[in-house]
Amino acid sequence: MATQQIAPAINAWDVAQRQFDLAAERLNLSRGLRKVLREPKRELTVHFPVKMDDGSVQVFTGYRVQHNLSRGPAKGGIRYHQDVTLDEVKALAMWMTWKCAVVGIPFGGGKGGVIVDPKQLSQRELEGLTRRFATEISIIIGPEKDIPAPDVNTNAQTMAWIMDTYSMHVGYTSPAVVTGKPIALGGSEGRNEATAQGAVYTIVEAARHLGMDLRNCRVAVQGFGNAGSIAALLMAAVGSRIVAVSDTTGAIYKPDGFDPKSVLAWKQEHRSVVGFPGTSTISNSELLELDCDILIPAALENQITAANADRIKAKIVAEAANGPTTPEADEILHRNDKFVIPDILCNAGGVTVSYFEWVQDLDRDFWTIDHVNEKLRAIMTRAFASTLDMSLKEGVHMRTAAYLLAVQRVADATSLRGLYP
């Protein structure tokens, strides 16, 4: 009897490096510069104890990676997840470097993570873990060095604990050390919605380019967390029909659409989108392959691969998540005339408004939500136009175009600064 072959796991760091290599080759970067940009500048691994509610002590492992600081301090989220790996954090840090560069904000890429299932911890245990992790990485973070933000399973409260811990260490209140904070502690209006809002701004531009009327579009959203749920609400607000959403428990589908606000209320009550009245239950993988016009992957990495890319039916794939599509899948989607808005462009709204928050904290001058969204729209539409122009000029798909823009900007900054000493 033949044994079933199990597909090897896809390594996010390998994907990130291959994406960089494609752009570096096309840009004809020097061998030395490629070596510099291909690796992180700094990787910090920490193992730290936390006292649990039952009096026992557990040791957790966490990471903070800084990829490139040529264009400014490192910027990137901290995620709490049981499957966090150093390679994943390295990939996310590199993607942050390109993301900041493609939208033209003066940051380099950073990322952090702790190997933990936060759902198994009490609020007090979460606070203890966060404060101890912040203490361990305090040697490399700071308003002018490395500015963390929320990511998977972290939020404004997490950032408040990190800000307070860092402030206790330095002896004064330092709101600019993190972004994504509560408004009461120097957070920015619009930060919570920023990733989804930025993604929708790029979807609007893509639909305009392709001659699609968003009022007639069917939308499927994989991942109904912060970015995915708000993206669904915003897409419904422009008249699109939300036909499917998913979370970690499964997915729901209704061909003639449903109200995402009602689904959000259902999820808050039942801790799952599954079972929402009038919908059928499908798998996360089935959601990706639905007959729809716009697919918004807003979950984790490596969701669209060589195994399923040929079955993607959506005309626009808007990557609200980081790294949802592998390089092999990119080629298949491009060949099948699918328009991918790459993650480093599509979900850059979050880091853009994080930049706004950092500026506001440093200036002690805070903006209205209308001012934030006006500036965000200007940056996202300009970045989309630049990427589309590069795509058409070079005859490449949008991801390669975004990488060509971003890598060239970082390469220029790195070259101009030179090597020290």
In sequence order, which ranges of 271-397 are alpha helices (DSSP H)?
284-288, 327-335, 343-346, 349-363, 369-394
Homologous superfamily, domain 194-346: NAD(P)-binding Rossmann-like Domain (3.40.50.720)
Return the SS3 of 54: coil
The pLDDT tens digits of the residues spanning 282-340 come to: 999 999 999 999 999 998 888 999 999 999 999 999 999 988 999 899 999 999 999 99
The pLDDT tens digits of the residues spanning 134-185 come to: 999 999 999 999 999 998 899 999 999 999 999 999 999 999 999 999 999 9
pLDDT at 185 (0 to 100):
98
User: Which strand (E) or helix (H) includes residue 18?
Assistant: helix 12-27
Residues ≥6 apart with Cβ < 8 Å to 48: 59, 60, 62, 132, 133, 135, 136
pLDDT at 2 (0 to 100):
43
When pLDDT is averaged across residues 205-220 and rounded to a whole number, the result is 97
Q: CA 126 → CA 82, 85, 131, 132, 154, distances in Å?
A: 14, 19, 9, 10, 10
Catalytic residue among 41, 75, 99, 111: 111
Segments of the chain assigned to CATH 3.40.50.10860: 40-176
Return the SS3 of 186: coil
CATH fold of 40-176: Rossmann fold (3.40.50)
The pLDDT tens digits of the residues spanning 348-398 come to: 999 999 999 999 999 999 999 999 999 999 999 999 999 999 999 999 999
Segments of the chain assigned to CATH 3.40.50.720: 194-346
The pLDDT tens digits of the residues spanning 18-29 come to: 989 999 999 999
Residue 183 CA to residue 348 CA, distance in Å, equals 21
**Is 267 an annotated catalytic residue?**
no
